[in-house]
């Protein structure tokens, strides 16, 4: 019997790739054949996908970046990618195509529409992104990560599935949260797959405002862009924070989340989903330039559950941030309640639910 075949179309950030990876892992367990469709940039975030997943690199571009020449060329590039995808899918026809957003997902989604292949859109955020808005009316199902998006069109079938998390995140579940004792107070700081310079700029001086007895116990693990790491270490030295581990990327982030007492991060959908599934308290600083301010919607979801505190970047100073961090770390009961609330908000079976929908639409 020939294995069923799914194509996962995803853009070039971890926020799109991680849920696609989670679905790939689940479909492979069910005996499906799986391909990932993206562009060269997207493939740089595909290192965690199982080796069994085929990689299909397609031409893609966006009209929202680059100079006038690049913007004018983008539609032609996307048409080339759609033609590539159509030729490939005509030869090796998928049973379903699932789009996770990002402009690199567009060629495969366009080809699926042209060939009449069943389609699902998965939206990770509380607001539909540009690529998903373009294709959602032509999808059989809109699978929702954080409630039904505010801009979801009428007449589209919506199913709330949650945001699929990678096997590595599910593997970090069940580790009971223990508030800081007399030993190190472990802070984990990261800004999503693309980093966040504001966290590198803000955290060292913010921690300098902590009480001396607390500051002496702080151990920071921070993801930062490569050019910022030397400066970051110098700034932590100036703030008398000695226990610092900084790197551009950690390939064991779920385990690091589980080991932390408090996470300080951006509010990407995958970040929020993994914080919830693993069950850790957080301070979330939404990216103010995110499309339709979707990161604020993500952060407010966890805050409403009692699992997080949303800290808007506008008007934020190191002193203010240091005060928030100090207040949270001083209240061990609150940290415990936030961790419990996070775990209760998690959707560890989201990948299974989404895979069930793939089976359904594929007939």
Same-domain pairing of 60 and 181: no
- Residue 198 shares a structural domain with residue 57: no
Is the same domain home to 110 and 252? no
Kindly state whether residues 270 and 336 are assigned to the same domain: yes
Q: Which two tokens stand for residue 224?
A: 């930062």
Q: Are residues 194 and 154 in the same domain?
A: no
pLDDT at residue 175 is higher than 70: yes
Q: Residue 195 belongs to what domain range?
A: 171-345
Comparing 184 with 291, which gets the higher pLDDT?
Answer: 184
Q: Are both 309 and 201 inside the same structural domain?
A: yes
Here the CATH number for the domain that contains residue 356 is 3.40.50.2000
Shared-domain flag, residues 63 and 157: yes
Q: Are the C-beta atoms of residues 123 and 149 closer than 8 Å to each other?
A: yes
Q: Are residues 177 and 78 in the same domain?
A: no
* 176 Cβ contact partners less than 8 Å away, ≥ 6 residues apart: none
- Which residues make Cβ contacts (< 8 Å) with residue 294, sequence separation at least 6? 125, 126, 127, 129, 269
- What is the number of domains present in the chain? 2
Locate 158 and state its tokens: 């919506």
Residue 234's pLDDT is 93
Q: Are residues 265 and 127 in the same domain?
A: no
Encode pLDDT of 53-87 as tens digits. Answer: 999 999 776 656 566 766 666 666 788 888 999 99
Mean pLDDT score, 112-126: 96
Mean pLDDT over each residue of the chain, to the nearest integer:
92
Is residue 261 domain-shared with residue 147, that is, in the same domain?
no
Q: Could you tell me if 24 and 151 lie in one domain? A: yes
Q: What is the pTM of this model?
A: 0.89
pLDDT digits (tens, 9 = 90+) for 233-243: 999 999 999 99
Q: Do residues 62 and 93 share a domain?
A: yes
């Amino acid at each position: 019997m020939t294995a069923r075949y799914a194509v996962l179309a995803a853009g070039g950030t971890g926020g799109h790739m991680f849920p696609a990876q989670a679905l790939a892992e689940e479909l492979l367990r069910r005996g499906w054949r799986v391909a990932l469709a993206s562009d060269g940039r997207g493939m740089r975030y595909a290192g965690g996908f199982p080796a069994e997943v085929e990689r299909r690199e397609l031409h893609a571009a966006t009209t929202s970046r680059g100079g006038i020449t690049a913007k004018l060329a983008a539609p032609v590039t996307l048409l080339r990618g759609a033609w590539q995808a159509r030729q490939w899918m005509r030869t090796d026809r998928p049973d379903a195509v699932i789009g996770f957003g990002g402009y690199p997902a567009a060629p495969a989604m366009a080809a699926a529409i042209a060939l009449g292949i069943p389609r699902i859109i998965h939206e990770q955020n509380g607001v539909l992104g540009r690529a998903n808005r373009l294709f959602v009316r032509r999808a059989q199902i809109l699978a929702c990560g954080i409630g039904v998006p505010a801009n979801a069109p009428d007449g589209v079938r919506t199913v709330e599935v949650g945001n699929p998390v990678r096997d590595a995140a599910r593997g970090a579940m069940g580790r009971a949260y223990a508030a800081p004792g007399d030993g190190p107070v472990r802070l984990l700081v990261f800004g999503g797959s693309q980093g966040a310079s504001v966290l590198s700029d803000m955290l060292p001086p913010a921690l300098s405002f902590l009480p001396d007895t607390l500051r002496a116990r702080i151990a920071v693990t921070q993801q930062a862009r490569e050019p910022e790491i030397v400066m970051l270490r110098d700034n932590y030295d100036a703030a008398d924070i000695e226990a610092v581990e900084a790197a551009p990327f950690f390939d064991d982030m779920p385990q690091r989340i589980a080991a932390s007492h408090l996470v300080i991060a951006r509010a990407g959908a995958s970040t929020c989903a993994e914080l919830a599934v693993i069950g850790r308290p957080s301070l979330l600083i939404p990216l103010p330039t995110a499309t339709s301010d979707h990161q604020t919607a993500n952060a407010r979801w966890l805050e409403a559950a009692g699992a997080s505190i949303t800290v808007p970047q506008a008007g934020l100073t190191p002193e203010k941030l240091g005060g928030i961090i100090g207040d949270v770390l001083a209240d061990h009961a609150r940290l415990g309640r936030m961790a419990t609330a996070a775990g209760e908000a998690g959707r560890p079976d989201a990948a299974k639910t989404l895979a069930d929908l793939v089976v359904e639409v594929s007939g």
